[in-house]
Amino acid sequence: MFVSQASARSFRLFSSTVALIGPGLGFCEPLTLNTRGVARRRLGTQSATPSYTVNKERLWNSIHETAKWGATPDGGVRRLALTDNDKAVREWFISTTESLGCSVNVDEMGSVFATRPGTSSSLAPIGVGSHLDTQPAGGRYDGILGVQAGIEILQVLEENGHRTYAPITVIDWTSEEGARFNTGMVSSGVWSGRYTLDYAHAIPAVEEDESGKATLRSELERIGFLGKVPASYTANPLSAHFELHIEQGPVLEDEGKKVGIVTGVQSMGWLIVTVHGANQHSGTCPMDRRRCALTSAARMISRVEEIALTAEGLSTVGVINSWPQSPATVPHKVVFSVDLSHHSTKVRERMIADTHAEFARIAHANKCTVEIEDIWNSPAVQFHEDCIGCVREAAENTAGVENVKEMMAGAGHDSVHTADRCPTSMVFVPSKGGISHHPDEYSSPEQCALGAQVLLESVLRYDDRLKRNAL
């Protein structure tokens, strides 16, 4: 995930490594749930799609062969956006898709669109997208599976000589993770109009030695991926967007389900909390005279967890710093982050309101004061019923009704932004132990292939609906 520049600045106050934590949605303005550009008309539901089968071994080998670009000794992948490793895998992506008959375009954000023509040249392509960049200590599947499955779809269509009605575009969205450039899902965000191109191009690279002056634009230029196609849903539109992704959580595995039909993305966001107390001598200041910012913060952290539990939401305090960092001094200042999520935007807003009220009460009771900054706020996103319907039919057909589960995504994905501008849905497959953003991330060959099969059938079903509705 990612943070916008403003939040990135805030987090650098905490620690130079915090800027490398995973994704977050941007927060410049609230996401709209169903906005301009999203087709309102429901497409017909009768489907007669051909049945092709993805090649499990080919998909598996491709995932692991390309892991060499950024491979780490522990089996993970470190492929930060627009580094030389990212450049290498992008070049592989282009040569592979060109060999499958695709024409390849790169947009102004460096996102790569590999398009296989359909029989209707006037129709915007059906997008199959995800990302090839990773977190600093990432795994082999997050994002990568979605792009690799898109390539596998191209392989299957090509070997079966199947010409779709709409063109199919497999997309590698630039810098989804927001790890090196601190705005997650930034290129799909520019494409959807959520961020301006100037804002995105100016995002500085977070380098380990903090010596660089590199920006997202300068790194695009350096690796030769500053494309000419406008990064815009109007100039480069999609008929729909489908994304296969690992779940990155334990729900499917725990419930013994094979496929997640993703109906939307939960509401999420971050607060930055600053507690002010007073510097006092630890050996001489009586307890009843203390204004300890850290004790206040500890009570707040405990309380926000209760708020989340009561609301059946999620809360995380992942960063905390205190000043002046002396064992013999009562801390006068503490800053910590609060991540709050809920599938309902309304309930999450209530969680935030409760947090404000309770933190003020706790601060007052401890003779402290508190400031709360709402630095990132992303309302829940509802995916499009037509795309969800295609994924549902494909999943039930492929895995069996008893093995699928409708669910909301807990993390941000590029599909959050495409959902603003075209019908969108996602497919999840289980993640072993729910582990992600870690070298131990794992989904089996069978799970990856099943996800790709559902993705293929979802795309063909949507294509069939487009065709029948055009007749």
Residues of this chain that bind Zn ion (CB under 5 A): 142-143
183, 206, 207: which is closest to 196 by C-alpha? 183
Tell the smallest beta-carbon distance from residue 134 to Zn ion (Å). 9
Structure tokens at 28: 């410049």
Q: Distance between CA 256 and CA 251 in Å, rounded?
A: 8
Tell the smallest beta-carbon distance from residue 429 to Zn ion (Å). 13
Q: Which is nearer to Zn ion, 143 or 423 (CB)?
A: 143
* Sequence-separated (6 or more) residues with CB below 8 Å from residue 353: none
| Pair 293, 277: CB distance under 8 Å | yes
Q: Which is nearer to Zn ion, 108 or 142 (CB)?
A: 142
Tell the smallest beta-carbon distance from residue 19 to Zn ion (Å). 18
| Pair 399, 235: CB distance under 8 Å | no
420, 416, 425, 417: which is closest to 386 by C-alpha? 425
If you search the block for the tokens 């910012």, which residue do you land on?
Answer: 293
* Number of other residues whose CB lies within 10 A of the CB of residue 48: 7
| Pair 250, 434: CB distance under 8 Å | yes
Q: Which is nearer to Zn ion, 139 or 143 (CB)?
A: 143
Tell the smallest beta-carbon distance from residue 133 to Zn ion (Å). 9
Tell the smallest beta-carbon distance from residue 436 to Zn ion (Å). 8
Q: Which is nearer to Zn ion, 127 or 143 (CB)?
A: 143
Tell the smallest beta-carbon distance from residue 262 to Zn ion (Å). 13
Q: Which is nearer to Zn ion, 142 or 393 (CB)?
A: 142
Tell the smallest beta-carbon distance from residue 265 to Zn ion (Å). 12
SS3 (DSSP) at 158:
helix
Q: Which is nearer to Zn ion, 11 or 141 (CB)?
A: 141
414, 412, 406, 409: which is closest to 388 by C-alpha? 406
Determine the residue with CB nearest Zn ion: 143
The end-to-end CA distance of the chain, in Å, is 41
Tell the smallest beta-carbon distance from residue 199 to Zn ion (Å). 22
If you search the block for the tokens 């309902």, which residue do you land on?
Answer: 344
Q: Distance between CA 305 and CA 256 in Å, rounded?
A: 28
Q: Which is nearer to Zn ion, 82 or 166 (CB)?
A: 82
Q: Which is nearer to Zn ion, 59 or 157 (CB)?
A: 59
| Pair 157, 199: CB distance under 8 Å | no
